Each structure stands twice: as structure tokens, then as C-alpha cells.
Structure 1
């Protein structure tokens, strides 16, 4: 393959994910994070959407990022004028190319061609880079599509793009289409794939191997319906499987994925490739035994290459080796008999359908090994006030080393406020980072028991603990205080 360009569309197509609506500041933060990955082009939004969207695009342009800043534009002069006003580097000029999509705007192929010519001429006259994109191109007549692309090339478009708008391409057809386009077009060709049938990554790679030199991607595969091609999947496959020399900074992928997930509120599914929580997590005994001898036994790449860490978790399928590794990780010394008893108790909990946190394991081990530790932090009382127009406020009274400490703080909701107040209260003795937060309802109804699990870290050491209560705020506080006490041991 030639040099591969990455166009990240998280802020445009990704924001069209149902339920996502980003503020100006959130869009800027994501743009800055994506830029650290080394992508070549950032599609910052669609200029015709709103005044707020244009304001956000302007802020991104002013940030002076390394990536080319692009905006989605229809073949309408007003869109191009908006793009010029935003001072972007390029436009992603999208026009319908299938009969179905041309009927949507009441145009035929000749009329669309005229729109393209006029728009490209106007954009180029005003100094814009133009990427001409065929909407629903995977269902267009291929000869007509190539004719349109040739017109784009004739009028000095810089790149062309084929959009598989509803994700119906299969790899064999992708190879056929891109091979034919490559024979007819000399400017760079891009693939914009959707994942409706789970083939976006495969189709994108096939396109790159058959003439394309640019791929459109989104962090965590965000996008309409089933989403867009995942940046993390395509880049990892190219780098580690096809041994391509790409500019993406792979070690930053997980951090950016987590940031985007946190900002958008869209959680990554646990079994998601590369960035899912389970991607480098092992529970089954035979797997952990193999990992202990040689990580490549059950891992295709080292987790550090994509900014991850290997995790050994305990549960129903846990083997003795998993328990042994976990206990040694806590610096505990134990005999074979101790290990056997701890292993037995872990299995009993796993058989009851419970996941076993670090805190659970330590509690079991402390019981078996007759260990004890002083709980330096205890909850005395808390109070939370929330409303629908102001931030929630929480006050907290803790017993820390036998002295009462009282603090208050605010948050976007009652749980956030309570955790912020808790962290503020203990800030005098230590700084604790809340890295992960997860809640499950154990039973049904409005009075359901909830199980809150958290991952906390301090001075490079991390621990997972949980709290169970009918009150999600209390369960959250219990989980965090449990972790704090164990990290302070």
C-alpha cells in the first residue's frame, strides 16, 4: 500500500449517533485528543447544521492542530460560504449518486454532475481543498459513478471518496469496485464505510489494498445506526497484521477511546476489539496458565502497544494460577494450603453468579491468612441535594484516622456530587483517582438492589471494589471508601 491517510469523522458522522449532542467545548476537546493520534484529517462537523456547530468548527480551526480541518458540505454555495467563513482547510463535498438518493433531492445524474462542477470550481477558486464524495455510491451505477469522479478530477478536486452509506458492501465487491476506479482515476481515493453488517473494517482494508489511499474512521466506531469504521480496528489491523507503516500513534488509542466514551456517554461494549474492557482480560484457568508462561499464548499483541494493560479477573472459570497471580500482585505470602482454601472460596462465590473484585479477593485472603488492617476512613454521614436546573450538592462527614472531617462539593448529578465531596474530604491525606465506574441492577423495581463497582488508583497502584445497596449513592460511597482503605494499607 501507498501512504495511508486517516480522516476521522467522530465529530461529524460520529456525532450523528443517536443520543449524542456535543457542546462546543466537548467538540474542541475531542478534536484535540484525536489530533494527538496523528490522524491526517479531522472532519470537524457539518457547517449547515447550526450557528453553534459553526462556532465549534471555528474554535477547532483556531486551535492550530496538526491535522487538516475539514467540514461536511453539500453541493450548495451557501454551505461552501459557511465553510469559508469557518476558515477550514477542506470540504467533504457530498452528493447523491444512486438513483434512490438522487430522487431524494429531485435530481438526475446530469443535474448532480452540474452541481458538482459548479461547487468544485467555486471552492477551488476560494482556496479550499476538495474531497468529492459519492453518497450511497455502493448502490450507484459504477460507470456513472466513475464518470462523476472523472469530472471531479477534471475540475481539480483533490480527492474522491466512495461512501458505502448503508453498509451493504461485501469484500469481494469492494475489491472489484476499487480496482476499477483505480484504473480510471489518478487522484487519491477514499473509502467511507458503515458497519450495518459488521463488515466496515474488512471492506475498508480491502479498499486500501485495491487502490484506495485514504480511510474514513470514527473513534469507537461511532456513527449512525451500526456506526462507522472503527479507527482502532483499522489502524491495529494495518499496523500489526499487514505490517503497514502508518502514522497513527497506537499507544494513545485507548486513552482517546476512553475520553470519547466519557464525553459522549456512549459506553464501549466489553468485548469490543482493541478498546473493549475484555480485550486483554483473562478469567479462564487454562488461559491464565498459558499467559503466565507466555502472554502470546492467548494474546495476539502486547496490550501496551495500544495503551492497555493485561487484566486477570476472578470468577466461575478461574483457575488456581489466576488466584496465585492476583495474590502475588498484592504482595501477599501464602502456602499451598492457603492458596487451595482461597481458591475454593473464590469458586464458591463465582458459582453464585457474582464477579469477584480485588476487594473481595483481599477480604477472602485476609480471612484465610488471619490478616487484619485498620480502616482509616469511615463514613459517618452524608447528605445530597439535587434539582433539575442546578448542579447537585453533597456534604460528607468522614472519620479519618479518628478525626471528623466535613466537606461539600457539587456535581452533574447526585452520585457525581457525592464522590466529589468524598474525594475532597480525603484530599488532605491522599489523592485518589477514580478510573472506572460501573453500576448494575441486581433486582427489578424502583427499590432494586444495585451493585456499584469502581476502579481506583493511587501512586501507580490500582484496585477494584464494589458496594451493594438499594441506594445507588450509598452503594457508590461504600465502594469508593472500601477501595480507599485498601489503597491506604
Structure 2
């Protein structure tokens, strides 16, 4: 069983998504690293820009077979050939709605044209897959005849397409079974009824040996079937390994970043909460047995387990979270910390590592050792381009850098990033400013949330200068991430 990933084509057709050539090449590399067998790089007929992007992917010399999506016209195949792809995904109308209304032709002409195109593509050395568009609403006898003719003409495989997410599992099983009897069969499912994963698995049970999917399930309307969900369902539920699952989380985050489509917290496999435990009962059980409340270890998909603290937290969870930071409290002090954590949770606040450490420090009456400090900050704006420079102390060394931006705060943030380099490759998840006092000398409070992999922290700083408050909050949050045990690079 293998995957054809169509993130770069069908996924990009999601509203508001547009990937640059560099982003497509980066995602293609990650897909190849994960062992995805086929990568649909785009649709060559879209235009010169898209052809340039597809060529960027073909130039990567991937192990994966790189393809282009083509309509049922010879010129599309010629354009794909110009991009240097290994194969084409030929889409031809299958349902009468598409044959008669969309294309304005007949069933007989569709079959004849498909045979001609397959032979043409094969004569030019291309791997060929034929997709029957809207196949889930097609007359099954005609779909079977069309796909059979494609295979007889030399197509490497045919594909059952639930183009509009219309199909139910029983119908999918029936149709895919008939196509699989003809030859190698793929499946392409959408999630309009919330059945994309189910229909993909049913297709495999019916004989399909290639699943079309997108990373994070992005795509038109409700999206395509999610590659990571099908991969893990097959691996965990049926013992069928399709890709290197340890690469899935990194791949999901990169696609979310490139597309601007964030991962839902409750998203299976790659969502923030997929391996997070807050309930005292669940946390206690997880500490006693990793598998108590998880179907498979988070390391399977390149993740870490998180014990989340909030209103449902128990002593075991708080104690374990403190132990991760090397803190061990007396029973009395631990009880006080647990009470304060629950108080914060009751107010609807997410209790991050920063909050927990601050509470523990307050209860113990002592400060913590820092690894990163802000020594100096200067920022200028006005008529000139806003610029800023920072001087940071990191593990006994000093780092100095400057930056420019759309404003003094942005310039200062760029300076901090430049000073740290790869030391803290973090993501700014949220940035929030509140005025604490009124008037022209108002003090502002800046709250930021940063993450690095599965670790997340928040920090707050107040100052009359919003730029300084912002940098202090960012530096404090990065320091928290470094203190959690992730090593920093040597200072210059």
C-alpha cells in the first residue's frame, strides 16, 4: 500500500492557499523523506508560474515519482512533459453530469479520447494514472468500461474518485472492488460527509493499493483525506506500514506554516491536544502506564507527550510537570501549587510552563537561574526605516544583532531572531497587548506565547515602552524554553 500526495495540487486548491516555488520544493523534500511514493507537484496547464514550480520539484531528484495533473487534452500532457515529470494523472469525466453537462460530449467519445491520450502519454515514456472524475456518482457499468479501456490502452493504474465527498462506505466498497478486479486501482476521497478516512480504508479493503491524500487534509471545501490519519490508521489498526511515520508531525507543521491553515487543537495525529493530558485521572494513569490513555506512543509520529495543567489537574500531574524542570517540592508546598494551578484553570486560563514555574518559585520563595537575558535595547523609527539593536547574554556569552521592520516592535523582534539564530528556533503563536493604565503615559502589558515542537510557554512583561515590553516578554519566553532542558548552541 502506498500514497500519492496531492498537497501541492489539490491541497493548494483550498481557498486562500497559494504556495511559492520554494515552499512547494520544501514540502516535496519532506514528503520524499517520509517515504511517500508519488508526489503530484501541480497542474502544468495552470500557467507558466505553475510549470516553473513543477520543474523546481522535478529538479530535486526525489526518490518519489513526480507527476502532473492533466485534463483530458493532449496539450496538457505536452506541458507536463516540458516540466520533466515522471508521470501524469489524467482526469477524464466519468459521471453523466460531467460527460454531458460539463464537457458536452458522449460516453463513447470519452472512452475513445481516453484511450488515445493514454497511448500518447505511454508512447512518451510517462507513468500514467487515469482518474474518473465524479466516479462516485457515475454509472458503475460505464465507469468499469471506461477504466477497463484505459488499462487496456496501457495505463499503469486507474483511480476511483469521490470528487465531491458524496459516497458512503458501502458504495465505495462496491465500486472499488469492481475496479480492482480490472487492475491496479487508486482511491481519491474527500471529507464533505466526514467519511474521507473511512472511505479510504474501505477502498483499501476492497483492493485499492494507492491512496490519494493531502497533508493535514487540506483541499477544496471540506478537504481531502488526511495522509497522516490514513497512514496511522493502517499502521496501528492493521499493521500496514506505508511511510516513515516519525516524519509526520514535522511535515504537518511545515504544511500548516506554508499554507497559513492552522492545525485544529483536536486534530487527530498532529493536533496540539493529540497527546496532551489534563484530567487528574488521565494524568495519573498515564504516569503509571504510558499506554493507559493513548492508542500509540507519540514518538510514533515524531511527537512528545504533554501533561497539561488546568482546572482538572491533580497532584501527580503537577508533580511530574515540576520534575521535568528539576523541581521537587515538599508535600505541603506541592499542595499549595496544585491549588493555585486549579484557581488559574477555574478562571479559564491555560497554565503554561511559565505559569507553573512562577507559581512554584513564589511558593518556594526563590528565583530561578536564567540562561538568556536582555542586556540592552535601542530602537528608532520616524521618517527612516524602523531599526533596532539588541544585546543578549546567553550562557555566559554575549550576542549582538540589529534588525529592520515595519515598525519598531517588528524591528526589535527581527533583531532578537538575528541574535539568537538557530539557538531558539521557536514559533510565535500569539502576541497580545493590553493597556494597564490610562493617559499618554499608559503602561502596556504584552503577553506572548511561543512554542518549540510540543513545548509551549507564555510570558508577560509590562512597560511604558511597548517595544521594550515586547522584547522582554519574548526573551523571557525563549529563556523558559531553553531552561526546560533543550540545549542552546555555544555563544560566540
How does the TM-score come out when normalised to structure 2?
Answer: 0.88
1:100 aligns with 2:94: no
8 Å Cα contact 1:191/1:204 also seen in 2: yes
Residues 228 and 380 of structure 1: CA distance in aligned 2, closer, same or farther (over 3 Å):
same
For 2:110, the equivalent position in structure 1 comes to 112
How does the TM-score come out when normalised to structure 1?
Answer: 0.89
Aligned residue runs from structure 1 range 294-373, under 5 A = 294-373=289-368
Q: Which string of whole-angstrom CA distances, capped at 9 and with x for unpartnered residues, describes residues 129-183 of structure 1? A: 1100011110111111111011101211110001101101111111121122233
For 2:11, the equivalent position in structure 1 comes to 14
For 2:488, the equivalent position in structure 1 comes to none
For 1:197, the equivalent position in structure 2 comes to 193
8 Å Cα contact 2:381/2:407 also seen in 1: no
SS at match of 1:209: helix
For 1:50, the equivalent position in structure 2 comes to 47
Following superposition, the deviation at residue 306 of structure 1 comes to 0.7
Out of 202, 207, 210, the residue aligned to residue 206 of structure 2 is 210
For 1:37, the equivalent position in structure 2 comes to 34
For 2:69, the equivalent position in structure 1 comes to 72
For 2:165, the equivalent position in structure 1 comes to 167
8 Å Cα contact 1:386/1:414 also seen in 2: no
For 1:423, the equivalent position in structure 2 comes to 417
Aligned residue runs from structure 1 range 360-439, under 5 A = 360-373=355-368, 377-378=373-374, 381-383=377-379, 394-398=387-391, 400=393, 407-410=401-404, 417-425=411-419, 432-439=423-430
8 Å Cα contact 1:407/1:424 also seen in 2: yes
Out of 23, 28, 40, the residue aligned to residue 26 of structure 1 is 23
8 Å Cα contact 1:221/1:230 also seen in 2: yes
SS at match of 1:340: helix
Following superposition, the deviation at residue 385 of structure 1 comes to 5.9
SS at match of 2:45: coil
Note the aligned Cα RMSD (angstroms): 3.0
Q: Structure 2: how far apart are the matches of 1:386 and 1:260?
A: 37
Residues 260 and 463 of structure 1: CA distance in aligned 2, closer, same or farther (over 3 Å):
closer
Aligned residue runs from structure 1 range 183-194, under 5 A = 183=181, 185=182, 187-194=183-190
8 Å Cα contact 2:449/2:477 also seen in 1: no
8 Å Cα contact 2:80/2:88 also seen in 1: yes
Residues 473 and 56 of structure 1: CA distance in aligned 2, closer, same or farther (over 3 Å):
farther
For 2:457, the equivalent position in structure 1 comes to 464
Q: Which string of whole-angstrom CA distances, capped at 9 and with x for unpartnered residues, describes residues 358-389 of structure 1? A: 111111111111112466623754537699xx
> How many aligned positions are there?
472
Residues 205 and 421 of structure 1: CA distance in aligned 2, closer, same or farther (over 3 Å):
same
SS at match of 1:259: helix
